[in-house]
Structure 1
Amino acid sequence: MKLTAPVLVCVSVLLAACSSKSSNIDINSGGPRSVQTQSRSEPIFYNGKHYALNYSYNDAMKVFDMKVSGTTTPMKPDSQKDAVNIASSSLGYFACPDGQRGRLVGEPKFNGGVWALQARCG
């Protein structure tokens, strides 16, 4: 009978630990809810046009530094909306945990046919 109490306490602790959900995102541990911080270069097909997406993780700022450029025709200053859509959805697909999209941080900058953005998962 004395053995029953410690066993029940252990089982209760284990059940409580399993039932608590963490909403924190684990950066770079490789788990199912972790952000994949490896740098990538990907061809993107969006709205009938071809683009190139390059990004790397900026550990100091905890954001992805992203660049979106056109491969068939250069991007233009008025294509900010396309660049933001490409960056946020692509980051969600390639780097963020399931169900999350990339979220823009700061304002996109255009220079010489390339949009530079910063984003994080969220």
Structure 2
Amino acid sequence: MTYQTGYAFGSAETRDDSQVLLAFGAVAMIVGFLTLGHRTIKLIAKEITVDMSPISGFAIELGTAFTVLVCVKIGIPISSTHCAVGAVVFVGMTKSTVEGVSLKTFRKIVIVWLLCFPVAALISLIVTMILVRFA
């Protein structure tokens, strides 16, 4: 798999079906970003904390990038969006206090994170059942 080996090239005969699935996943992520990404960016940039500066933005991006790089290096799949939200929350708390962070917005984000796993599992189950029935 590309994630494990780092290689994304080869002839069509030697290419594994998993690469096709990875490509499909990448296309789905791009479509999702183009259709709903602006809402996520607005939420992270403006609704979690109000006290942002260029220095805060740099700290958030550096913390996010470092966390993602370390996790990938040790083999842990991780979401850069989750890392960015965590960085925004803690930079907001560091710059001001807990009141500087919208805990209501952060609570909603955490609830959605927790709901993602069972919803994704259910969707995967339904799609698999449909594909198995017609394959």
> With structure 2 as the length reference, what TM-score do the two structures score?
0.23
> With structure 1 as the length reference, what TM-score do the two structures score?
0.25
Higher strand share: 1
